Each structure stands twice: as structure tokens, then as C-alpha cells.
Amino acid sequence: MTSYRPLDAEALRACLGARNTLAARLGGAPADWVLREVSDGNLNTVFLVEGPTGALCCKQSLPHVRVDPDWKMPLDRTDFEARYMRAVSPFVGHLMPEFHAFDAELHLLVMEGLTHHRVLRTALADGTAAAGFSARIGEYVGRTAFHTSWRGRPFEAVMKNVARFARNTTLTRITVDLVLTDPCVPDCPRNRPLSPDLDETVAALQSDSTLRDAVSRLQERFLCCPQALLHGDLHTGSVMVHGDDVRVIDGEFALMGPIGFDCGLYLGNLLLHACARPERREWMQDEIALFWRSLEHLYRDLWDENPQAGDVGALLSPESRRSAQAATLRAIRRDSAGFAGLELIRRTIGYAQVADYALTPDRVAEAEARRRALALGRTLILGATMDEAVEACFQ
Amino acid sequence: MTSYRPLDAEALRACLGARNTLAARLGGAPADWVLREVSDGNLNTVFLVEGPTGALCCKQSLPHVRVDPDWKMPLDRTDFEARYMRAVSPFVGHLMPEFHAFDAELHLLVMEGLTHHRVLRTALADGTAAAGFSARIGEYVGRTAFHTSWRGRPFEAVMKNVARFARNTTLTRITVDLVLTDPCVPDCPRNRPLSPDLDETVAALQSDSTLRDAVSRLQERFLCCPQALLHGDLHTGSVMVHGDDVRVIDGEFALMGPIGFDCGLYLGNLLLHACARPERREWMQDEIALFWRSLEHLYRDLWDENPQAGDVGALLSPESRRSAQAATLRAIRRDSAGFAGLELIRRTIGYAQVADYALTPDRVAEAEARRRALALGRTLILGATMDEAVEACFQ
């Protein structure tokens, strides 16, 4: 027996009205609340509910992909998002919306409503994003990466997240297919048709066996390296900004994986934006540098402050710890470059593309932007650092 | 409500008598059955039950370590052994005893009784082991390592084992402490006092910061590299032999981890035997070579026969697959050397030592054997191959 049903605005109003704590956050009477559907991602229904004294964001799973009702999907994805929010909120504070409640039967997640924030991708598109947001994202990744890792907690606590998120296979399958496989597969039906100008470039990419070998190594790295609890889908559409307040949302793809995967997805999306708007290349490079400075600084500090917090690393002397930190951060950067490369390619030829390409002035410029993103992606996957790849591909 | 109670011989007789399928395997009437307690490991109670037409081995968890009733322990360890047997038996056939039944309330595991087999460690000690057994162990590890890995199955199937065995934390804690940490910790109360002749050697080992750094990397490798479902405690006491019939038992430490961990524990125990009986060094080296030949051959064949079985590797061309196989096997050998080194050290100075040292003719020879094992262990942990380390330490 399950009482699951997709909620429309009025059903949601009744549902929130019946829950005292949530109703009290909104204030006034249910009839006073203003509900707006703001579904923006591909998967779920999202409502923003505003009352006289507060706002809530309510996210509910549908039994299918929201934008494609024929693509059936189990309902448990908001369950994983709720678990993720509970797992990382003690470490990231106001870098994510406050978690309020989760209804397991309705698969309904209720969190702080961010009424003034805008999605970072949109804010970048219309020029309202204030430079420097990446420092906060670096902080977010640094904090979650340390505190949910084998260095930050006894292994029993980490294994709890391993066990919990290993069951998030429906969404992980999407990542394995759409991010880590399809872009290398000629004629994959999930890839999008592009302008014929790009046919040759795409065909060359998909028949490149050196690239496939490197992608194969990244697949293994993604599945077989549970360093920390990842957000799992940390692109510029999963970040909301308002002035210098930055929040990470949409953790339903959460899984234990290599820290460089979260970094790579995020940075790959900054590079995509730079491909679409080449005049912003330096700004995006500054954001990348800010991200790393913030992440690395924080990750080192947290480790120095908690040298005995986990089983891994507890044997190290302070000097050895510093070498281990440097080696760990180098490896994170290496992974990040590869995963950023995959993100650049899959967002350019795969199923889920990015709105950034609509910012190009015409079709010629768009094809050029896509070609650059593919070249950048390939260069990164084959082992270049981010600086080297940008240098080589923006000439 | 649980009906758990530790079973003595008569209670076990009644319990088996009440289960038709098991009683039928034994044949005759319960009064005809001969029950012998054969508990040999540190943790559980084990009975061998023989009837007119068959034999059963019955293993039950106790609420404490069998050899130390003050060391309390949850009962679920036979649950994990039963899950492990079910998970790998389709791949290893008669290389493990046949699984018959598991009673979740009694935490009682019932499997094929091996009445003629002897524990390999004992058979090595008294000279009844027939050379060549390591080919079967190499086959066992090769089969389990391929079929339970990201290359051998779709990732959803692997994640099921990840989720399941990530909960085996009680026994994994023993490995993390006794194998991966304690031997490097001066004055650790769980380490055993040794002959004062060895004080200086042990003190030098435990203050060696290069060694601790390398052990710290192995800790991370153990916890953060779930390549395949491991046995987790594959020493010569977890293998039974009878002529050339070889069986692996005692999978209660099972977890997802680096394939080199199973290899390293096994090979480390062959090297321990060679330290205690230096005249058998060449034999043990032959066993090591046999182990690798068998494992590598099988692992390559299985991968070639199932190139699309898993998500990882499905993009590779046949040529690329061969390079990937070589790289994977090199990495397994590298890990194995390190874990073998840890096993050599922990079995020489740690909580759970090995009977092999009792084979030395006198205390001087024993101290010499232990000193050699420690040197060999250190050399392996610091990165030598097994051949190099043996060459350097047996002069």
C-alpha cells in the first residue's frame, strides 16, 4: 500500500496545511499561500510556496522523467536527495538550502524556498551573476569531500554512506550512460542530432580509440573509487546565487565516488560557458582558479585540524601529512580534468545539452563553440591540465 | 524476538533432525550421526556431522570471539559468510564447499562437510600437502575477481554487493586494526610480546616513517578501491586440501576491495612458511609462480570471453583490452606485494600470529625466521616486487 500520487498545486497546499511545522514556517492560512510551479530540471516537479512569513521549496518525484513521460523511472530519487541533504548539511551550513522534511510515501522533499536566488546558469546567461561565486563552490566541495571521506570519519561511518548510496542505481545508470559512455558511441540513439557542419568532428571523436581507452579508465575511476560522498550532478544548473549568497541544490544523483567528479562537472560547465561566450574566458579562468584556491585551502586546513578523525591517514606524521595532502590534491586535479572533459563532450553532443549554446550570436558561432568544447574535452580527457587545455583550444 | 542460542552437539543434532533436506543428506536416524566439534579459527563454533550417507559442516556465530569471551561481537558474521558463499559459488564451483542452508535466527551456516580434507597450514606443517595447490587458489581468485567486478557484471549487480558487504563492519574493523594499523603502532596492547631478541628490530620498524607512509597508502587502497568481492581473509588456514582437491572456506570477512588484498594475504602466508622453513623457499616460490600463472591466465580469458559483460571496459577494442588487462594485472601485483608485506608483519608481531613459527627447531631459529619475515614485509610494503624482496631477504 502506498498513498503516492503526483501533487498539483492545490493538493500540495492541502498537504502542507496539514503539517503544523511547515505551515508555521509559511505563516498565515493556506489560502494566503502563493504556489508557483518552477520545475526546471529534467526529472522532478518543483513548487515554490510563499506565505506571509516564509517560503518553502517542495520537490516531488514523478514515476517518469518529467520531460519525457515515456522514460519510466522509480520514485526513490527524492529519497536519495533527502539522504544526501541530511548527510552533508552538518558540514556545509548555508551553502545549501535548509532541509525541512521528507515524506517517504509521497516522495516529497520540503526545503527552504530561495525566492530571490536564481540558477547560476541563467544568471551567467543574462549577466546578473556576480564574479567570485566559485570560491563558495570550492568551499562546498572541500567541506563535503573531507568530512565524508575515509580521512574525515571512522570507516564505519563512511561505509554507512557507501551502503546507502550504492542503492541509488537508477540515477547512477543515467550518469554511466549519458556522461561516461554515450558520447563515445557512434549512432547512439540518445545523442542529439547536431548541425551537419559538426558531423566530421563528431565522427572523428567517436572513432578515436585513444580517447575511448581514456574514457574507459574514467568509467572505472567513477565506479571504483569511493573517496567521498559526491553531489553527483554539480553543474551550473545545480547552483543558485543571489548576490554573494551561493547555494547548491539537486543532490539526487548523490553517490560515493572520486572527488574529482564533482569538481570536473562544475568546472566543465564553466568551460562550456567560456566556449559559448569566448569574451568571458578570462573570467571563467579566474573562477576556476578561485575554486581550486578555496577547495585546496579548506581541504588542507580540515585535515590539519582533524588528523586523527579517520582511519586513513591517522598514522601520518605532520610532515608526511603535508606530502599526502599534496599528492591527494594533485590526483583530484587530474581526475577533475578528465571528468570536465567528459562533461564538455556530453553536454555538446549527448542527450542533456546546455542552454549556454543559445548565447552564441549565430549558427556559425554556435558550431565554432561546440567544436571548441569538443576539442577542449578531448584534450582534457587525454591528460592535459585545465590551463594547458584552455591554452591549446582558445587561440 | 530471536531464538538465538549457542548450540552444543545435542542441540545441533536435534536442529538438523528437524530439517528434512539436511537430515536426508546425512542419512539414517539422528542417533546414528557422529558430531565432532572442530572449531579451529578464532571466532566461531564449528561442528562436523557425519551420517551414513553424507557429512555436513555446521558453523555458528557466538556473541563473542571464541578464543576470548571478553571480546564481545555481534552475531551477524555467519550471515556475511553465507552471503559470500551464495555470491561466489556460481563462479568457483567445487573450489569451495557446497552451500546448503543458513538459519538467520540461529546464525547457523550449514555446508558440505569435508571429512578427508585438512587445513593447508597444517598440511604444510606436517608435510602432507601435495605441491601445486596454489594453481587452484589462483583460479579461485581469478574467477571471483573477474565475475564480481565492474568488468564482469553490469554496475547495478556490483553495487548490490557493495551495499551488502559495506555493512560487514565488525569484521572489517578487525582487518583495519589488526592488519592495517596495529603493527605500526608502538606499545599497541593488541600486539603480542615477543622474544627480547626482537625488541630492537620491532622498535626500528615501528618508528620507520617511510613505512608508515606506505602503510597509510595501503589503508586507503584497502578501503577505497572496491574492485571485486573479496574473501577478505585468504590465508593458508582458510584453505583445505585433500590430494589435489582444494577448497576455500571461512568467507566471513568478505567485502568489496582491491583484488590484490586476497592475493597478498595468501602469498604472504606462503612467504611466512618459507621464513619458518627456509629449505622450502624454492617450493613456496614455485607456488607463488603457479598462483600468478593461473590467476592471470584465467582473468585474461574470462575478460576476453565476456568483453561486454560489465560497464567498465565495454568501449575497448580487442587491442586496447589487451593493454588494459596488462595494466590491471600489473596493478594487482603491485597491491599484492604491499598487502603481503603487511600480512608478514602482522602475523609476526600482531594479535593473530601463525603456527608456522612453531616449526622452527629452536628459539634462535625462530627469532631469525621472524626477523626475516619483518624484513621481507618491510621490503614489500616499500614497493619491491615479490621476487626482488625474496632475493634480498633470503641470502
Whether residue A166 and residue B160 make contact (CB cut-off 8 A), yes or no, is yes
Strand runs labelled E in chain A: 34-37, 45-50, 55-60, 64-65, 68-72, 99-103, 108-112, 118-119, 228-230, 239-242, 245-248, 255-257
Is B208 in CB contact (< 8 Å) with chain A? no
- Residue A2 has what pLDDT? 55
Whether residue B227 and residue A224 make contact (CB cut-off 8 A), yes or no, is yes
Nearest CA in chain B to A170: B156
* Opening angle at CA B159, ends B158 and B162, nearest 5: 95
Is A220 in CB contact (< 8 Å) with chain B? yes
Check: CB of residue B337 under 8 Å from CB of residue B383: yes
Integer Cα distance of B144 and A262 in angstroms = 31
Test the B interface: residue of A162, A188, A323 with most B CBs within 10 Å: A162
Check: CB of residue B158 under 8 Å from CB of residue B150: yes
Residues of chain B with Cβ-Cβ distance to A315 below 8 Å are: 181, 184-185, 212, 215-216, 219
For chain A, list residues with pLDDT below 70.
1-2
- pLDDT by residue (tens digit) across B157-182? 999 999 999 999 999 999 999 999 99
Rounded to two decimals, the pTM is 0.96
Residues of chain A with Cβ-Cβ distance to B155 below 8 Å are: 169, 172-173, 176, 223
Residue A274: Cβ within 10 Å count: 26
Whether residue A155 and residue B169 make contact (CB cut-off 8 A), yes or no, is yes
Whether residue B155 and residue A172 make contact (CB cut-off 8 A), yes or no, is yes
Whether residue A223 and residue B158 make contact (CB cut-off 8 A), yes or no, is yes
Torsion from C-alpha of B327, B332, B336, B339, nearest 10 degrees:
110
Is A116 in CB contact (< 8 Å) with chain B? no
Check: CB of residue B41 under 8 Å from CB of residue B250: yes
Out of A166, A181, A312, whose CB is closest to B166?
Answer: A166
Is A208 in CB contact (< 8 Å) with chain B? no
What does A267-306 look like in DSSP terms, one character per residue? HHHHHHHHHHSGGGHHHHHHHHHHHHHHHHHHHHHHHHH-
Q: How many beta-carbon contacts under 8 Å exist across A and B?
A: 123
- Residue B137 has what pLDDT? 98
The domain defined by B9-112 folds into Phosphorylase Kinase; domain 1 (3.30.200)
Whether residue B223 and residue A156 make contact (CB cut-off 8 A), yes or no, is no
Adjacent-strand bridge partners of B111:
B57, B99
Integer Cα distance of A147 and A158 in angstroms = 9
Distance (Å) from the alpha carbon of B215 to chain A's nearest alpha carbon: 8
- pLDDT by residue (tens digit) across B139-157? 999 999 999 999 999 999 9
Is A326 in CB contact (< 8 Å) with chain B? no
Strand runs labelled E in chain B: 34-37, 45-50, 55-60, 64-65, 68-72, 99-103, 108-112, 118-119, 228-230, 239-242, 245-248, 255-257
Adjacent-strand bridge partners of B72:
B64
Q: Which of 3.90.1200.10, 1.10.760.10, 3.90.1310.10, 3.40.50.300 is the CATH number of A118-393?
A: 3.90.1200.10
What's B97's DSSP letter?
P
Out of A164, A227, A320, whose CB is closest to B224?
Answer: A227
- Residue A71 has what pLDDT? 87
Domain borders along chain A are: 9-112, 118-393
Residues of chain A with Cβ-Cβ distance to B212 below 8 Å are: 315-317, 320
Is B188 in CB contact (< 8 Å) with chain A? no
Is B128 in CB contact (< 8 Å) with chain A? no
Out of B213, B219, B226, whose CB is closest to A320?
Answer: B213
Q: Which three cell numbers, joined as nine digits, stand for A134? A: 566559485
Out of A313, A315, A320, whose CB is closest to B184?
Answer: A315
Whether residue B312 and residue A224 make contact (CB cut-off 8 A), yes or no, is yes
Is A312 in CB contact (< 8 Å) with chain B? yes
For residue A311, give the H/E element and its range.
none
Residues of chain B with Cβ-Cβ distance to A148 below 8 Å are: none
Whether residue A315 and residue B167 make contact (CB cut-off 8 A), yes or no, is no
Whether residue B166 and residue A169 make contact (CB cut-off 8 A), yes or no, is no
Is B126 in CB contact (< 8 Å) with chain A? no
Check: CB of residue B106 under 8 Å from CB of residue B260: no
Whether residue B320 and residue A212 make contact (CB cut-off 8 A), yes or no, is yes
Distance (Å) from the alpha carbon of A210 to chain B's nearest alpha carbon: 9
Whether residue B323 and residue A219 make contact (CB cut-off 8 A), yes or no, is no
Q: Which three cell numbers, joined as nine digits, stand for A154? A: 571512522
Is A21 in CB contact (< 8 Å) with chain B? no
Is A156 in CB contact (< 8 Å) with chain B? yes
Q: Is A285 exposed, middle or buried (0-12, 13-18, 19+ CB in 10 A)?
A: middle
Whether residue B219 and residue A311 make contact (CB cut-off 8 A), yes or no, is yes
- pLDDT by residue (tens digit) across A81-129? 999 999 999 999 999 999 999 999 999 999 999 999 999 999 999 999 9
Binned at pLDDT 50, 70 and 90, residue B2 comes out as low
Integer Cα distance of A236 and A258 in angstroms = 19
Q: Which three cell numbers, joined as nine digits, stand for B210? A: 617511510
Out of A156, A173, A323, whose CB is closest to B156?
Answer: A173
- pLDDT by residue (tens digit) across B230-287? 999 999 999 999 999 999 999 999 999 999 999 999 999 999 999 999 999 999 999 9
Share above pLDDT 90 across residues of chain B, in percent, rounded to a whole number: 91
| Side chain identity, residue A172 | T
Is A1 in CB contact (< 8 Å) with chain B? no
Distance (Å) from the alpha carbon of A326 to chain B's nearest alpha carbon: 13
Share above pLDDT 70 across residues of chain B, in percent, rounded to a whole number: 99
Residues of chain B with Cβ-Cβ distance to A216 below 8 Å are: 312-313, 315-316, 320, 324
Integer Cα distance of A332 and A337 in angstroms = 9
Whether residue B166 and residue A167 make contact (CB cut-off 8 A), yes or no, is no
Test the B interface: residue of A83, A151, A155, A185 with most B CBs within 10 Å: A155
What does B314-377 look like in DSSP terms, one character per residue? TT--HHHHHHHHHHHHHHHHHHHHHHHHHHHHHHHHSSS--GGGGGSSSHHHHHHHHHHHHHHH
Whether residue B163 and residue A162 make contact (CB cut-off 8 A), yes or no, is yes
Distances from the Cα of B305 to the Cαs of B134, B153, B157, B310, B323, in angstroms? 24, 13, 19, 12, 16
Query: Worst-scoring range by mean pLDDT, A38-47, A351-360, B18-27, B308-317?
Result: A38-47
Whether residue A181 and residue B314 make contact (CB cut-off 8 A), yes or no, is yes
Whether residue A166 and residue B162 make contact (CB cut-off 8 A), yes or no, is yes
Integer Cα distance of A253 and A85 in angstroms = 12
Test the A interface: residue of B176, B206, B312 with most A CBs within 10 Å: B312
Residues of chain A with Cβ-Cβ distance to B176 below 8 Å are: 155, 311
Mean pLDDT of B20-38: 96
Mean pLDDT estimate for chain B: 95
Is A173 in CB contact (< 8 Å) with chain B? yes
Longest dimension (CA), chain B: 63
- pLDDT by residue (tens digit) across B74-98? 999 999 999 999 999 999 999 999 9
* Opening angle at CA A52, ends A48 and A54, nearest 5: 50
